[in-house]
Structure 1
Amino acid sequence: MKKTYLLLFHLFLFTTLSFAQSNFKPGYVVTLKGDTVKGEVDYKEWGSNPTSIRFRTPDNKISNFTTADINYFSIDKLDIYQRYKGPVSHDETNSNRVTGGRDTSFIVQDVFLKVLQTGKVINLYSYSDAVKPRYFYSDPSADNSVHELVYRVYYNGNTSEIQKGNTTTEARYLQQLTAIALKANLLDDQMQQMIEAAEYSQPYLLRMATKMNGYTKEQVALTQPSSNNDAFELYAGAGVNITTTKSLDQDGKAVGSPYTSVLPRVLLGFNAYINPNTRRLFFSVELSLTDIKYKDRYSGATYSFNQLAATLTPSISYNIYNSDDFKFYLSLGVGISHYSIFNKKFNKYDGSPLPEAYLPFFFSSYNNAITYKAGALLGKRFQVYVQHLYGNPISRDSFYSMKQTSNNFGINYILGKQK
């Protein structure tokens, strides 16, 4: 329990310091009067649409802007946000959290919508907050006013609706998309099938917008502000594991001498970036395999064993320095290890074996340890790191216990990237 609290404290401190970091990127804002001001936007790991931004002008003056100050802001080649004032739905759409009947409630809000795509037939936007994600559209051939694509989930006994378990799904956004396609003379059988299959999610709706606007892949790259950075990358690595094993008596006093093992370590893992554009905050999961040796003397006898440790390590990392070709990061995680103990030997000084009844340790088959890591990404493909695993007990019994502390050094290679 103490280890869990320690990890949670470090995680809170780590994420707090991470989000406090500045990350200014070239961009511009458009004021309520229509004036364009060039400068830099502090580009954060926005889990929801931002309510305000920090903007730095070329003379290094920093200002905070909200929807009361600007109509529009852009981070070059990354993201665009547009001011919207109007109704925003507030009904729950997660079927696990729906508690009542059909809810058409909304609040008139002044928010920044993220621009997903602009085109001649439809402009597509997204807005996410603590309640749910939502999608909006506008018709550039009309008055270009923005409307929410309506999607509801609720309890209702009306069997004429589409039933999903105990809930009813009202997919009015499909009718809205059909009306847009019909107005643009695009509603053929293929378009109708595509609309009917469209889920209320960004990939499906972006695919619909791309089809309606008649964009090729090259045109999409020009009209969608988000870059093509991938959110997910695989890597493999090799390195050295340096583990020091200490034996302790029931009072916590050292028994014998600490033994340090230096052996190879291999791993396979992946990184998942919270925002593929900023590529600052990311989660990692890696599986490593290493051999550990131990040898010591006890009251006229020698004791030794080999320990094969398979460790699954989920972690959260943050790129403190974040350029295209060089990144420096800190990481905090927990190593969950499974042990296989083999080649155990308990001998007299003359080499003759002692009875197994005298074996001094009862080993744990698994354990966990808090991990700290610092590393750097070089040239987009090679990652070097140093990692520390905080005191990990591997055995417990009435008389003796063993505790290990490990330091890992190595190099990883980014194998490939997937969206």
Structure 2
Amino acid sequence: MLKTYITSILLCLSIFANAQQNFKPGYILSDSKSDTTFGQIDYQNWENNPKEIRFQNNNNQILNIVTSEISAFGISNEEHYQTKRTSLDITPNQEGRLLKTPNRTITEDTLISLLVLVSGENSLYFFKDKRDKEHFFLEKQNEITELVNHRYLIEQNSKLYIRELPLYRAQLKSLFSDCSKEVKVDGIPFVKKSLTKKLIEYNECVGCTYLCYYEKKKDASSISLGLVLAYNSENKNFVHIDYLPDIRQRYTLKSQGLTYGINAEFVMPRSLNRNRIYFEAYYIQEKIDTELKDYLQKLNSINLTTLYRRSLANTNEIKPYLGIGLGLKYLLTPRDEHIFNPLEVITPQLLLELGIKRKNLGAYARLKSYPFPTSDYEYLYKRVAEVYDKFTYKKLQFQFGLSYFLINKTN
């Protein structure tokens, strides 16, 4: 049985690996606007401007395309990139990498794919290199200028200090000089939102048309909180032993009913909203339906669950997912003065689940395994020490649940 469970987990991991691709409608542009090819692009919400993309054409062929060999590509209604030849300031700009010289290092005639922030007669582009340095380029009258925010180290009294030269502000003043009114750039920070806003203000001033692509949905972490209602089905062996008359009564008990609890879901950053950690806590009451009315009548427990969930689709309104994880079943001590505490109060479970989510509502089917021999509860009765009850859970159990997120930030 355990071998079957392990095989199922390995199959799920294989599905997770194949689910890493995320094809979305897009296009590539070779040399001219008439040479546009539409298809699907494996969109990975790139942190750095991609040097290579996977493109699926209408014949379902998947091609690996070097972005510097095409003139443009994009994800429809999301991101657009254009390949430009320009000079590039590669001087280190992050703390820990700064140089002790004001000199800058420039590479000429560099061919790179730039993320379009504003497109029009005056355009703004963004590029994040392999060292995570952020670059901004402004194109005016087909001439591209890199905006420069230069930082370097200076030494004073045997201590190092960072000197920052926001040269881009003077560059913007010069580039915006033909505007009939002043576009204020003093104090403007070197970030996407602020620079985009200023270029839009300039385009509107000089009467130029433009398209703004800045508003990209952040792939940040988020958390949701809610309630869970589940139908729990568990089978277990129940043995009632009385040593004096040497009575051993065996039963197979079926515990079926509704459980309720609370849950939380955490979406990992930079995962295309796919990788999630799910937490759940719910209460279970299992009734013992036998003719032994003088003994234990029910088992009460709290279940704590942690799962890793992987969404198999990210663009559909209904999102299926697979999950694997661990559960802990904590047995609450019966309020009976004639019963000793059970010998085992915490029982581990291995979990495998398949589910779907639509906005705030989720549903799942879960397979629970009790793989360890400690999955036994034994109760010894004080009044007759020769009598005790023993419960052993079957190795595989099932659970079906519904969850509703009262605070939903994950979708």
Q: TM-score, normalised by structure 1?
A: 0.65
Question: What is the rounded CA distance, in whole Å, between the counterparts of 1:92 and 1:178 in structure 2?
Answer: 17
Q: For 1:77, what is the secondary structure of its paired residue? A: coil
Deviates more, 1:288-297 or 1:326-335: 288-297
In structure 2, relative to structure 1, the CA distance for the partners of 1:57 and 1:178 (3 Å cut) is same
Query: Structure 1 residue 209 and structure 2 residue 196: aligned?
Result: yes
Say whether the 8 Å CA contact 1:236–1:267 is kept in structure 2: yes
Question: What is the rounded CA distance, in whole Å, between the counterparts of 1:280 and 1:223 in structure 2?
Answer: 24
* Alignment partner, residue 260 of structure 1: 255
In structure 2, relative to structure 1, the CA distance for the partners of 1:188 and 1:6 (3 Å cut) is farther
Among candidates 251, 274, 281, match of residue 281 of structure 1: 274
* Alignment partner, residue 40 of structure 2: 41
* Alignment partner, residue 50 of structure 2: 50
Among candidates 147, 155, 158, match of residue 158 of structure 1: 155
* Alignment partner, residue 401 of structure 2: 409
In structure 2, relative to structure 1, the CA distance for the partners of 1:286 and 1:92 (3 Å cut) is farther
Superposed displacement of residue 81, structure 1:
1.7
Say whether the 8 Å CA contact 1:280–1:319 is kept in structure 2: no
Among candidates 215, 220, 229, match of residue 239 of structure 1: 229
Question: What is the rounded CA distance, in whole Å, between the counterparts of 2:400 and 2:213 in structure 1?
Answer: 42
Question: What is the rounded CA distance, in whole Å, between the counterparts of 2:217 and 2:17 in structure 1?
Answer: 28
* Alignment partner, residue 343 of structure 2: 361
In our comparison, the structure showing a higher alpha carbon Rg is: 2
Letter in 1 for 2:262: L
Among candidates 300, 323, 342, match of residue 306 of structure 1: 300
Say whether the 8 Å CA contact 1:162–1:169 is kept in structure 2: no
CA-to-aligned-CA distance 1:197-228 (integer Å, 9 cap, x gap)? x5xxxxx4323321343289xx9995116566
In structure 2, relative to structure 1, the CA distance for the partners of 1:373 and 1:74 (3 Å cut) is same
Superposed displacement of residue 119, structure 1:
6.1
Say whether the 8 Å CA contact 1:361–1:395 is kept in structure 2: no
CA-to-aligned-CA distance 1:26-77 (integer Å, 9 cap, x gap)? x332214564314123232244443323434556665442135311112221
Letter in 2 for 1:263: L
In structure 2, relative to structure 1, the CA distance for the partners of 1:239 and 1:310 (3 Å cut) is same
* Alignment partner, residue 83 of structure 1: 83
In structure 2, relative to structure 1, the CA distance for the partners of 1:360 and 1:228 (3 Å cut) is closer
Unmatched runs of 5 consecutive residues or more in structure 2:
240-249, 379-389
Say whether the 8 Å CA contact 2:54–2:64 is kept in structure 1: yes
What does 1:189-204 correspond to in 2, within 5 Å? 191-195=185-189, 204=191
Superposed displacement of residue 24, structure 1:
3.8
Q: TM-score, normalised by structure 2?
A: 0.66
Say whether the 8 Å CA contact 1:233–1:414 is kept in structure 2: no
Question: What is the rounded CA distance, in whole Å, between the counterparts of 2:34 and 2:97 in structure 1?
Answer: 46
Letter in 2 for 1:244: E
Question: What is the rounded CA distance, in whole Å, between the counterparts of 1:169 and 1:408 in structure 2?
Answer: 59
* Alignment partner, residue 329 of structure 1: 320
Q: For 1:179, what is the secondary structure of its paired residue? A: helix
In structure 2, relative to structure 1, the CA distance for the partners of 1:375 and 1:106 (3 Å cut) is farther
In structure 2, relative to structure 1, the CA distance for the partners of 1:245 and 1:63 (3 Å cut) is same
* Alignment partner, residue 19 of structure 1: 20
* Alignment partner, residue 201 of structure 1: none
Say whether the 8 Å CA contact 2:120–2:210 is kept in structure 1: no
Question: What is the rounded CA distance, in whole Å, between the counterparts of 1:6 and 1:105 in structure 2?
Answer: 55
Question: What is the rounded CA distance, in whole Å, between the counterparts of 2:80 and 2:193 in structure 1?
Answer: 15
* Alignment partner, residue 140 of structure 1: 139
Q: For 2:16, what is the secondary structure of its paired residue? A: helix
In structure 2, relative to structure 1, the CA distance for the partners of 1:90 and 1:226 (3 Å cut) is same
* Alignment partner, residue 350 of structure 1: none
Question: What is the rounded CA distance, in whole Å, between the counterparts of 1:192 and 1:36 in structure 2?
Answer: 43
In structure 2, relative to structure 1, the CA distance for the partners of 1:330 and 1:145 (3 Å cut) is same
